[in-house]
Amino acid sequence: MMKDRRPRDRGPKGRALDDGAFREIRDLLGGRPRRRDLLIEFLHLVQDRYGYLSAAHLRALAEEMRLSQTEVYEVATFYDHFDIVKEGETPPPPLTIRVCDSVSCMLAGSESLISGLGAKADPTAIRVVRAPCMGRCDTAPAARIGNREVDHASAESLLQMASDGATETVVPDYTGHESYRASGGYQLLEKVRSGEISVDTLIETMQSAGLRGLGGAGFPAGRKWSIVRSYPGPRLMSINGDEGEPGTFKDRIYLERDPHRTFEGALIAAHAVEAERIYFYMRDEYPAVLQILRTEIAALEAAGLIEPGFVELRRGAGAYICGEESAMLESIEGKRGLPRHRPPYIAQVGLFGRPTLNHNVETLWWVRDIVEQGADWFASKGKPDHPGARSWSVSGRVRDPGVKLAPAGVTARELIDDYCGGMAEGHEFKAYLPGGASGGILPASMGDIPLDFGGELAEQGAFVGSHAIVIFSQADSVKDVTLNLLNFFKHESCGQCTPCREGTEKMVTLLKKQGKLDETAVRDLEVVMRDASICGLGQAAPNPVTHLLTHFREDL
């Protein structure tokens, strides 16, 4: 007699569905469409409501979205701002204080702040966690208590806020829709949409002005519009607001003061490439900006300037890698923010497989002024051979840190002396980051190199990137600075490729090792990371170490 080898029904596989959690998820999602690309938005909804992501809710969300539990879990665990609580684990305390430990805040005493909070905060009521750059480098040390951003934070002020319940978002005064329209806003958009200003004229103006992408890569804006237009539609557009490069805060300043200037630039660019929708990706570290954007997108819809849903706001969840454009698109699609292999580039195969125009916030902020005042006006704002004005995020050991509007080609010494009121009291110029964590570290003796894409800066193995300038003095050890930057890269590596994942960890281990630094191992590791990493994070991570060995051997 033949044996029955069919598998027996052993009941449901994996975690059982909790009916109560399932009802809660259904009620929370309401009438929202259960699209795969909204997974991260739904994870935010759950975390915002309950304070964490329980295993039961993750299981219920997977059921409601017709996804495997693995898909939901791998996305939730990829992003730092989601707190996963498994069965039997204790949920986090009701209040979280995040303290920035990136380089500018390190200079301002973030380690003492973290220690002070650890000693004074009640761990059953308050959780204290380290956080990467919060984009408040000019008012360091920075912290966030609940949804409230705090400048010049101290343990006493944060604990007092906790005691007072002052943990909600504070939105600064800014130019809203009505005020912007009253000052001539969106008149240019109407001229573009009516055909009074043609798309060809727009592109020619952008190219003549020399406007480049100001998020890091520096690709010419007008040329990008032409490339995206060359591919058959339908086309999409994305705005990269994931300003996570340590030392960078210019986009936050612009969106907290005049968001519609960026919106108008975006709508003009979308018209130029015939984009069917704009996806605005904004980092979760900026709760005030997120609230402003929600309010002003609704105002644009109410005014009839855009159709409902034409501009879709997407909220990041704490992943620096999503500043890389293809990783950002993966996140918008509701996935882990893993960079894509290129080619194809996103101009050809981008968001949801469509040709996609991607721009940084500041790049779009300049569009209106350039078209209204002319290409020559913008180009003349720079120094010879360096067209255009730039917004420089300057922090560190200067008297007056902040966003400084200065010419392309300005030098670090000029930014210090002419725009920041000189060095802070008692400090002497020793070194600087010309382009955030990944742009390298140069000595004060190179403080007169013009800051721009390419040129002499590139010859020194450095780059201007996101235009984040951090200034160091004789009080700072460049080795300590380098270790801070490499710890950041180690934490933020997405883990997709071995050279970056293992390389950043190994580099930190080598730097921490007591005794003489193994320079041979460092150099070998640098070559592997530069040659074999998928994206710019792993390729640029060795820059600070290279410059430490080249220019600051006395700090070893």
Domain ranges of the chain: 19-85, 95-164, 177-372, 391-473, 478-555
Do the first three CATH levels of 19-85 and 95-164 match, i.e. the same topology? no
In whole angstroms, give the CA distance from residue 291 to residue 488: 28
Q: What is the pLDDT of residue 2?
A: 46
> What's the pLDDT score for residue 309?
97
Q: Check residue 216 and give its pLDDT.
A: 82
Determine the pLDDT at residue 10: 43
In contact, 398 and 432? CB cutoff 8 Å = no
- Predicted TM-score (pTM) of the model is 0.95
Q: CA-to-CA distance for 240 and 430, rounded, in angstroms?
A: 33
Looking at the DSSP assignment, which residues form a beta bridge with residue 473? 429
pLDDT at 287: 97
How crowded is residue 108: how many other Cβ atoms within 10 Å of its Cβ?
22
- Give mean pLDDT, residues 37-43: 98
Select the CATH number that applies to the domain covering 19-85 from these four: 2.40.50, 1.10.3470, 1.10.10, 3.40.50.
1.10.10
pLDDT surpassing 80 at residue 8:
no
Assigned architecture for domain 478-555 = Up-down Bundle (1.20)
Cβ atoms of residues 100 and 133 within 8 Å: yes
Instruction: Work out the pLDDT band at 515, boundaries 50, 70, 90.
Output: confident
CATH superfamily of 177-372: NADH-ubiquinone oxidoreductase 51kDa subunit (3.40.50.11540)
The residue type of 239 is I
The CATH topology of domain 391-473 is Ubiquitin-like (UB roll) (3.10.20)
Q: How far apart are CA 21 and CA 45, in angstroms?
A: 14
Structure-token pair, residue 166: 């002052």
For residues 109-113, average pLDDT: 97
Q: Which CATH superfamily is domain 95-164 in?
A: Glutaredoxin (3.40.30.10)
